[in-house]
Structure 1
Amino acid sequence: MKTLVIVAHPNLTNSVVNKAWVERLSQEKEITVHDLYAEYPERRINVEREQQLLLEHDRIVFQFPLYWYSSPSLLKEWQDVVLTYGWAYGAEGTKLHGKEFVLAISTGGPEAAYQAGGFNHYSMSELTKPFQATANLTGMRFLPTFTMQGVRLLTNEQICESAEALVRHLKASL
């Protein structure tokens, strides 16, 4: 299964977890890592190129740190301009039908903060509903999300373990 990991981290160089994930995922032959902020520093997205990448892969992954309960802004811009009516959705928009869709999300806050009664009041499942709706609208199958929470407190060993766990998650028949 060919997997496209669309990475959206505005400062990947200074990241710890997302950078480790990218480095590890880049070692896998069947996984294509596509860093939006590196590819589009001027934020001018090449829609045709992005749509072609989507067509060439069976599983699409959005990898990002949770920013203000959503994704970093370039990923939202990417969704707005790439997932167009008549291509990704609508009566004629069937190009993504049958593909699989996965989220790989890191958070600074601990898991306990993302649940009813927790600091943020909402679970990760609730916060990712717009991505689930996107999968539904575009005919993709939404697979279980990979999350790594409390990343500020992880040891180097735990970071490496999380990268291995992400690879296993993405290669699994979910």
Structure 2
Amino acid sequence: MHLLILVLLLSIGACEAVYWQKLKCPYDVQHKSLPRIWCRQSSTDCCTGLTFSQSAHLLDGGKLKVTQSADSFTVAVLELSYGDGMYWCGVLSKNDTIIRLAEGYFHSSPGAYIWSVTRWILLPLLPMVTIVTHVYSRTATKNTCKEAEDDDISVSRTLRDPQYVNAASLRVLE
């Protein structure tokens, strides 16, 4: 039971209720005004994807969410348009060369999304199940101990106060 609790707590982690895979892309100040890149690696030096401006917040029909900060941007992915694989985030230089800022493996499992919602439903139930199980096991243990004590008392009474008298001991020898 404790192992199950540990596995559930570790799988929950610190994330949003919706399963967003994220990649943080830190950049230098000189790259701040360059177009951003999000793409799936197709070979060691190439990738397929899309470009977007620093003011973009939602991309690919809402499947990607971009948040900007002073020295980085973060791409959060709800659904992958290009399938599982290694993804890059970067900027597009003046000569149309991609400057890769970060990379990460992303997967498009619908099971992961279902689990991300289900675990928030199950999370409040976990402490309740643990408490009920603990109370039940303590009650069952107390009842078992009480029954054992009652059995010991009846045995000791039987030995001290016999209910049956041996007929041979009542016979008077003549």
TM-score of the two chains, using structure 1 as the length reference: 0.22
Judging by fraction of residues, say which structure has more strand: 2
Q: Per chain length, whose mean CA-contact separation is higher, i.e. which structure has more relative contact order (CA < 8 Å, sep 6+)?
A: 1
TM-score, normalising length: structure 2: 0.22
